[in-house]
Chains A and B, each alone.
Chain A
Amino acid sequence: MTNDMPDTTLAADPSPDAPGDATDDAVGYYTPGDPIRDTKAPEGPIAERWQTRKFEARLVNPANRRKLSVIIVGTGLAGASAAATLGEAGYEVKSFCYQDSPRRAHSIAAQGGINAAKNYKEDGDSVHRLFYDTVKGGDYRSRESNVYRLAEVSTNIIDQCVAQGVPFAREYGGLLDNRSFGGVQVSRTFYARGQTGQQLLIGAYQALERQVAAGTVTTYTRHEMLELIVVDGKARGIIARDMVTGEVQTHLADVVVLASGGYGNVFYLSTNAMGCNVTATWRAHRKGAYMANPCYTQIHPTCIPVSGSHQSKLTLMSESLRNDGRIWVPKKKADCAKDPREIPEEDRDYYLERIYPSFGNLVPRDIASRAAKYQCDDGRGVGPEVDGVRRGVYLDFADAIARLGRDAVEEKYGNLFDMYARITGEDPYSLPMRIYPAVHYVMGGLWVDYDLQSTIPGLFVTGEANFSDHGANRLGASALMQGLADGYFVLPHTIRDYLADGPFEKLAADHPAVLEAEQSVKSRIDHFMTVGGSRSVDSYHRELGHIMWEYCGMERSEDGLKKAIDLIRTLKDDFYRNVKVLGTADSLNQSLEKAGRVADFFELGELMCIDALNRRESCGGHFRAESQTEDGEALRHDDQFAYVAAWEFGGDDEQPILHKEDLVYTAIEMKQRSYK
């Protein structure tokens, strides 16, 4: 712990930055707003803040809870855990998801594991170390009080999940096993083979279904939230579409929770599920909730490359492959189409080992990703040509097989090799794997205070949908931890303080604010059903994804971002005039569902570019070409950018308004990273 940090990193200029500042690339694209001064975190030593908050949060009499209603959008780890817990507490909960069952939320796909500071291995782990690693991993762009709390409650998560029957991996003695994950030096990751997300989600789902049977929770599956209802400044409900009948429904409540996941699908291709979207949070943003750090995206280096223009999504393979696989591309462009086994050793460029001799193939995710992109941009990528470029690098196990034997490699990576073989039709035991980076996770999301409340009173946001804990980059195995921490252990305490003032005045179904929300949803639907254009929704989505990936992906520059903003605006105009949605509005209509989501992705994409343009520094997953060291490494500028960029919606065709929350570290010292 230190209190002697250089003053420059703490200097908080209370007045909004004047646009026109030498480094303000985004001038003309935004309006400066007031800084955010209060995040509602209690004062005092960091280790005591959560206890203080829990004590100070007002209680709700058990007899009154039944009269208080909560809407929760999302049944992933963050949503299902909250719905189950609030149901158990006795509130009246309505839970929404777009899939046909709550159990199918995207959390199900998480593979690697979940972190917790249990220190079962006695290897020096502690709450403070998990806190430290998370802030450092986030490149000092997260809010320290929230991160500390996350580390603090992490241990309760494991207790809860074990009691629910989550079958974590165990040692022969019957105790829980742990592994080290994502380059950290302690073994704090709990796992259930390669299906940790599935097992944790099934645990939360079962707890949720138990409450359905108990009558405290009602589930609305195949229901999509399309609008937030705000009355007298407070979130009071949602407009949802029954995706089977097409009915546009009003659901009112005392409080609304968004646990709707991340928006990586703005890139079209990502490792996210097909339906992942920004609609729930974007609609709330348009109603006054600030969107924080939207440009922070995590790109994962070990995904299976695109095989053709039909590609609909990308598949992640565990990072652990980099422990034994060696990454290379041909030195000569002419060799790129050759059988890799025929390329002699001296004609191969093991570029990570060459550039980063001490970390080699194990450099952090963003560095490995960017390096792969540079090789392919340079014309030395491998694999099939898609749109004229080969986007892939080799991940070669020939040396590992020679050194350890085929059996040992199979023992360690067999299931990943099988998955690779199924998808590509190639045998990775005899032919090097091909990998390429893909969008995997978004650190940005709706701004929330210490209570996980957004800038709209009564609207709480949990899980990947909020921005809160991972700063500019997320550590492996920490998203599952955050989702469950928020839903089981944080939100249930903070939301009661808000609900202590309820039940709020009953709203009539024909309240003007309700009718307005309903009308806006109906007119959007009408618009898509009647444009009668000529291009499919998917074709627009794919083109938007290309723009985002090209200019707001692994490397961003002032010129590229400005170009992207123009391209997005033009494409968006065309979309509204020329999109083609067939079928009817009053039945299951997947094109109509997608049209609504893509419309919101256009607006989000533009804001992401503006945010990236404003942040003329490289930090975490955000790399600005203009901000690098002489040898091409990311360069952070704590003196100018140690803040959360929280964007307020300015209105259609108006500039967004930037509010800055200065990041002040009292329990940790800011450092630049180096991997050379």
Chain B
Amino acid sequence: MTLDFGRIVPSIPFILQGALVTLKYAGLSIFFGFFLGLLLTLMKLSGLKAMKWFADAYTSVFRGTPLLVQLYLIYQGIPELTGYSITAFEAGILTFSLNSGAYVSEIIRAGVQAVDKGQMEAALSLGVSYPLAMKDIIFPQAVKNILPALVNETINMLKESALISVIGESDLLRRANIIAAEKYLYFEPLLIAGAMYYVLVLILSWIAKHLEIRLARSD
């Protein structure tokens, strides 16, 4: 077989604009997911049984079920339950944020627990309260473990966000499919979309790696 990129050249800008949509999904999801994840982590570390139970259950459910199922549940379930006709964009951001919150909370928890326990004890022994020690002593040190992992989670989100095309959002994948259907050419548009995903992932991986090196240098 031969590849015929010539016929889709005019459509390439259209496909590439989908990269912006994809990035928007990944970026917003990780942004909201971060605050949700932080909240869940605080609940896990709070020492309050009910809070910890809730946060653990939340994390377990969202990590233990397919993202696609979560997406359908929200996209189709919310209109049925509430009568509110949720847009694909809202459903996508909501699902991905709720989902990444679960992953981010595990990232933050692991980052906090990787900080030597002696740091907290030293702070407490000086008369520093537990929350203040968390804020001033533990979190600043945990950031070093957390940031690179967060970029990796953004990479996951970026790839997973291709799911959004199944509910009609015009992201990278969906646009490639539209061109494919128009031109009766399947391989070429999908190759371009795949290559675009890969370039985005490479850029983010590069950022993660350099972040890690920079942060490691500070100790």
Query: Do A and B come from the same complex?
Result: no
